[in-house]
Amino acid sequence: MITVERLVCRYGDVLAVDDVSFTAEPGRVTGFLGPNGAGKSTTLRAVIGLTRPASGATRVNGVPYAALASPGRHVGVLLDAAAQHVGRSGRETLVLAAILLGVGRARVDAVLETVGLTEREAARRVGTYSLGMRQRLGLAVALLGEPEILVLDEPANGLDPAGIRWMRDLLARFAADGGTVLLSSHQLAEVQRVADDLVVIGGGRIVAQGAKDDLLAGSQDLEELFLQLTAPDSRDGIVA
């Protein structure tokens, strides 16, 4: 479970996240929706301890992320698929991560199969990968420690339609097995296909949240709200 309570984050004079509260429950996919610059990435970074909040708190399974023993065994994280060492092969990336996590190298083969990277592709340098392949590798790293929670920022970027369907199915199975998924995206149509719950953020504040079916019962209002949030003047002064 992920709990965010009255989170406030600032970058200098810029208020990036303003009094944000929500919960991502086990056994469910929580879609964290909003336009670029709405505060999604900042919130996720606060959840995993990369951004220090001005006030409020985030907890993973009831404790701050930093208090977890071997966090990667509990929380799999994919924030930026492009931020990978371009000189290493995909397999080398995973082997190094396995060593740091203290998991057996058999997990490397297992996650490569899970994300659909072949032996030949795993042997290539990451610098030669497409964005879609980097997303698959990033997800493999996130799954390596067999976590019960996934925190994913725009994981479908760069995936073709078949890859998006694959990602959707993988996350649905993860949640069906009791896992918690917090998935950020700026694409309402795609997230509503996989999410059980929706949290919509705009201008650093939560503007709607609840079970997907309840929110989509008034789908026209939700779509209109999302269109308003994506209007250029609605993002002035807001950061990721």
Task: Judge whether 152 lies within some domain.
Answer: no
Q: In the predicted model, what is the mean pLDDT of residues 66-94?
A: 92
Q: Could you tell me the residue range of the domain that residue 127 belongs to?
A: 81-146
pLDDT of 235 above 70: no
pLDDT of residue 239: 45
Rounded to whole angstroms, the Cα distance separating 82 from 153 reads: 12
In a domain, 23, yes or no: no
Residue 114 lies in a domain: yes
Q: Does residue 132 lie within any of the structural domains? A: yes
**Residues paired with 125 in a beta bridge:** 89
- In a domain, residue 13? The reply is no
Give 53's contacts (C-beta < 8 A, 6+ positions apart).
Answer: 7, 8, 9, 17, 46
- Cα–Cα dist 94/88, whole Å: 10
pLDDT digit string, tens, across residues 92-136: 999 999 999 999 889 999 999 999 999 999 999 999 999 899 999
3-class secondary-structure state, position 121: helix
Q: What is the pLDDT of residue 83?
A: 82
Indicate if the pLDDT at residue 85 is higher than 80: yes
Residue, of 234 and 186, whose pLDDT is higher? 186
What's the pLDDT score for residue 15?
94
Task: Tell me the per-residue pLDDT of 213-226, one tens digit each, with 9 for 90 and over.
Answer: 888 776 556 667 66
Q: Does 94 fall in a domain?
A: yes
* pLDDT for residue 160: 86
Confidence (pLDDT) at 178: 97
| Tally of domains within the chain | 1
One DSSP character per residue, 145-173 reads T--SEEEEESTTTT--HHHHHHHHHHHHH
Q: Does the pLDDT value for residue 240 go beyond 60?
A: no
In a domain, 107, yes or no: yes
In a domain, 174, yes or no: no
pLDDT in tens, 4-20: 999 999 999 999 999 99
Residues ≥6 apart with Cβ < 8 Å to 48: 65, 71, 75, 77, 79, 151
- Provide the pLDDT for residue 238: 41
Residue 222: its pLDDT value, please?
A: 66
Q: What's the first-to-final CA gap in the chain, in angstroms?
A: 23
Sorting pLDDT into bands at 50, 70 and 90, what band is 234?
Answer: very low
Q: Please give the structure tokens belonging to residue 224.
A: 């209109």
Least confident of 20-34, 123-137, 151-165, 194-208: 151-165
Please determine, for residue 35, whether its predicted confidence score (pLDDT) is greater than 90.
no
Cα(77)–Cα(215) distance, rounded to whole angstroms? 27
pLDDT per residue as tens digits for the range 165-207: 999 999 999 999 999 999 998 887 788 889 999 999 999 999 9
What are the pLDDT digits (tens) for 43-61? 999 999 999 999 999 999 9
Residue 82 has what pLDDT?
78
